[in-house]
Amino acid sequence: MRSDVMNPDAPRADQGHYVAPLGETPLQEVDSVDPNATPRSLWGEAMHTLLRNPVFVVSTLLILFVLFVAAFPGVFTKVDPTYGVISDSNLAPGEGGHVLGTSRQGYDIWARTVHGARISVLVGFFTMLLSTLIGGTLGAIAGYVGGWLDEVLSRINDIFFAIPLVLGAIVFANRFPNGMNLWTVSLVLSIFGWTSIARIMRGSVISVKNQDFVMASTALGASKTKILLRHVIPNAIAPVIVTATVNLGVFIVAEATLSFLGVGITNAVSWGADLSSAKDSMRTLENNPWVLFAPSIALALTVLSFIMMGDAVRDALDPKARKR
């Protein structure tokens, strides 16, 4: 009997057996793992990915620049943004020592753009913190406890979710006859801005609470409060961080919209208030166009930076979303 019949795996006499050279097997380099390397955690791996993402780097640099301008406006201009001279009305850029010229009221456009960053950034930041605290707490309780409490909190969430953010803020703003300040605007926006955070936190907590490590903690006798605070929330917070980052840009736009409509912070230098003034000033062609372009560009770049950062963080924390 022939040997190839006895051993079907043996090559025939007229058949060669070839092995690919090492240089033609690049998977060995991809699959190689350093046994001495320290394994990265979820946040470590996310940061490793973010630092190599040009979108995250560019958006972070823009946000840091905006924060620096908001914190130290005196570094970029020494002109008082509330001091206007009617005789210097509608000066062209560079004329009279004004970088971007002046508005119809004689205000320095560059100074108002620089100082307007503080109100917009502070309102967005405090609103994001307060809405994340409210929505994260209610969403975590609803998702972890479940039952009738979940039903009640979910229906309350649906009610507030059906109310538009800006419209609800306008209604509440009318309850302050003397105008609103930084804290009241942040509070009003937070009342209607926590719903998306609550929904995402609830779904994430429901997904995490059924994991094996939560069941192990329960079997070891850990209390429900301890499990929620030390195990469930830290592992469910990632999508909330992404949403909060994007919402910060949304809240900045909401504050600018309220100021544009005249129901925002009273007597404050903000991008929305300058856009409202520019709306009337730009009806004639002889007015300085930078009175409209300067706050618009500053507002657009700031909001775009936070949205870009939110997308980059989402891709780093959720690889499945990046593949889709």
Q: For residue 50, what are the CA distances in angstroms to 32, 191, 240, 288?
A: 23, 32, 17, 41
Question: Is residue 320 pLDDT above 70, yes or no?
Answer: no
pTM of the model: 0.78
Angstrom distance (rounded) from CA 269 to CA 79: 13
Least confident of 64-78, 105-119, 157-171, 261-275: 261-275
Instruction: Phi first, then psi: give them for residue 265, nearest 5 degrees.
Output: -70, 130
- Residue 312 in tokens: 């980059």
Region 8-16: mean pLDDT is 56
Q: For residue 24, what are the CA distances in angstroms to 16, 20, 29, 30, 166?
A: 19, 6, 11, 13, 60
Structural domains of the chain ordered from first start: 40-83+93-323 (1.10.3720.10)
Question: Is residue 269 pLDDT above 70, yes or no?
Answer: yes
The model's pLDDT over 120-132, given as tens digits with 9 standing for 90+, comes to: 888 888 999 999 9
Question: Is residue 24 pLDDT above 80, yes or no?
Answer: no
Angstrom distance (rounded) from CA 233 to CA 208: 8
Which three-class secondary structure state does DSSP give residue 102? strand
Res. 315 pLDDT band, cuts 50 70 90: confident
Angstrom distance (rounded) from CA 320 to CA 202: 20
Question: Is residue 26 pLDDT above 70, yes or no?
Answer: no
List CB contacts of 42: < 8 A, sequence separation 6 or more.
238, 317
Contact 270, 120 (CB under 8 A): yes
Question: Is residue 4 pLDDT above 60, yes or no?
Answer: no
